[in-house]
Structure 1
Amino acid sequence: MKLNLHFLVALMFIVSFTVTAQDTKTIVDAIVKEANENSQLEELAHELLDEIGPRLVGTPQMKDAADWALEKYKSWGINAEIQNYGTWRGWERGITHIDMVSPRVQSLKGTQLAWNPSTGPNGVTAGLITMPTFKDSIAFTKWLPSVKGKFVMVSMNQPTGRPDYNWEEFATEESFTKMKENREAQTKEWRENINRTGYNSRTIIAALEDAGAAGIVASNWSRGFGVNKIFSARTKKIPTVDIELEDYGMLYRLVESGKSPKIKVVAESKELGTVPTFNTIAEIKGNEKPDEYVILSAHFDSWDGGTGATDNGTGTIIMMEAARILKKIYPNPKRTIIVGLWGSEEQGLNGSRAYVEDNPEIVEGVQAVFNQDNGTGRVVRMSGGGFLNSYEYLSRWLSAVPNDITKHIETTFPGTPARGGSDYASFQAAGAPAFSLSSLNWSYWNYTWHTNRDTYDKIIFDDVRNNAILTAVLAYMASEDPEKSSRVKRIMPVNNRTGKQREWPSPRSPQREGGN
Structure 2
Amino acid sequence: MKNFFTLSLSFYFVATFSLFSQEKDRVVQGILDEGYNNSQLEILGHELMDDIGPRLVGTPQMQKAHDWAVAKYKSWGIPAENQQYGEWKGWERGITHIDMMHPRVQSLRGTQLAWNPGTSKKGVTAECIVLPEIKDSIAFQKWLPNVKGKFVLVAMKQPTGRPDYNWEEWATPESFEKMKNERKAQTEAWNDNMRRSGYDRRSIIAALENAGAAGIVDSYWSKGFGANKIFAARTKKIPTVDVQLEDYTMLYRMVEHGDKPKIHIVAESKDLGVAPAFNTIAEIKGTEKPDEYVILSAHFDSWDGGTGATDNGTGTLVMMEAMRILKKVYPNPKRTILAGHWGSEEQGLNGSSAFVEDNPKIVKNLQAAFNQDNGTGRAVKINGAGFLHSYDYISRWLQAVPDTISKHIETTFPGWPASGGSDNATFVAAGAPAFNLSSLSWSYWNYTWHTNLDTYDKIVFDDVQNNAILAAIMAYMASEDPGTTSREQINLPINERTGEQQKWPTPRTPERKGGM
Both proteins in one fold, TM over 0.5: yes
Instruction: Report the equivalent of 2:143.
Output: 143
Q: Which residue of 2 aligns with 1:100?
A: 100
User: C-alpha offsets along residues 212-253 of structure 1, whole Å, 9 cap, x if unaligned?
Assistant: 101000000000000000000100111000000000011100
Residue 22 (structure 1) shift: 1.2
Task: State the one-letter code of the partner of 1:499.
Answer: G
1:24 maps to: 24
Shift in Å at residue 361 of structure 1? 0.5
SS at match of 2:268: strand
Partner of 1:415: 415
Question: What is the SS of the residue equivalent to 1:71?
Answer: helix
Residue aligning to 2:435? 435
Match in the other structure for 1:152: 152
State the alpha-carbon separation in 1 of the partners of residues 494 and 11 from structure 2: 50
Partner of 1:340: 340
Q: Secondary structure at the match of 1:259?
A: coil
Instruction: Report the alpha carbon displacement of residue 4 of structure 1 after superposing the two structures with TM.
Output: 3.0
Aligned-partner SS, 1:179: helix
Secondary structure of the residue aligned to 1:465 is helix
Within the alignment, does 1:468 sit opposite 2:468 as a pair? Answer: yes
Per the TM alignment, residue 278 of structure 1 is displaced from its structure 2 partner at its CA by: 1.0
Paired position in structure 1 for 2:71: 71
| Aligned counterparts of 1:333 and 1:494: Cα–Cα separation in 2 | 42
Q: Distance in 2 between matches of 1:115 and 1:73?
A: 30
State the distance in 2 between where 1:237 and 1:276 align: 24
Name stretches of at least 5 consecutive residues in structure 2 with no aligned partner: none
Specify the alignment match of 1:189 in structure 2: 189
1:258 aligns with 2:258: yes
Residue 95 of structure 2: SS of its match in structure 1?
strand
Aligned to 2:327: 327
Alignment match, 1:298: 298
SS in 2 for 1:368: strand
Tell which deviates more after alignment, 182-191 or 343-352: 182-191
Give me the whole-angstrom Cα distance separating, in 2, the residues matched to 1:275 and 1:75.
Answer: 27
1:164 aligns with 2:164: yes
Q: 2:247 maps to which residue?
A: 247
Task: Say which SS state the counterpart of residue 411 (structure 1) adopts.
Answer: strand
Counterpart of 2:126, as a letter, is A
- Tell me the CA shift for residue 417 of structure 1: 0.6
Letter in 2 for 1:297: S
Aligned residue for 2:381, secondary structure, equals strand
What is the one-letter code of the residue matched to 1:252?
A: Y
SS in structure 1 of the partner of residue 492 of structure 2: coil
Unaligned runs of 5+ in 1: none
Count, aligned residues: 516
| Matched AA of 1:60 | P
1:339 partner letter: A
Residue type of the alignment partner of 1:301: D
Cα offset for 1:97? 0.6
Instruction: Look up the match of 1:384.
Output: 384
User: Cα deviations across residues 343-383 of structure 1 (Å, max 9, x unaligned)?
Assistant: 00000000000000000011001000000000000000000
1:4 paired with 2:13, answer no
SS at match of 1:94: coil
Instruction: Give the aligned partner of residue 46 of structure 1.
Output: 46
SS for the counterpart of 2:116 is: coil
Q: CA deviation at 1:15?
A: 1.7
Question: Is 1:112 aligned to 2:112, yes or no?
Answer: yes
In 1, the alpha carbon distance for the partners of 2:376 and 2:139 equals 48
| Whole-angstrom CA distance in 2 between matches of 1:495 and 1:463 | 38
Structure 2 counterpart of 1:308: 308
SS class of match (2:269): strand
CA positional deviation for 1:496:
2.4
Summarize deviations over 1:265-291 as a string: whole Å, max 9, x none. 111101000111110111111011011
Q: In the TM superposition, what is the alpha-carbon distance from 1:132 to its structure 2 partner?
A: 1.1
The Cα RMSD (Å) is: 0.7
- Name 2:221's counterpart in structure 1: 221
The equivalent residue for 1:129 is 129
- In structure 1, how many angstroms separate the alpha carbons of the residues matched to 2:20 and 2:95? 58
Aligned counterparts of 2:82 and 2:242: Cα–Cα separation in 1: 33
Amino acid at match of 1:217: V
Deviation of the 1:16 alpha carbon: 1.4
**3-state secondary structure, aligned to 2:462:** helix
Q: Which amino acid is the alignment partner of residue 261 of structure 2?
A: P
Taking the aligned partners of 1:402 and 1:492, their CA distance within structure 2 comes to 34
Give the % identical residues.
70
Q: State the alpha-carbon separation in 1 of the partners of residues 427 and 5 from structure 2.
A: 47
1:391 maps to a residue whose letter is Y
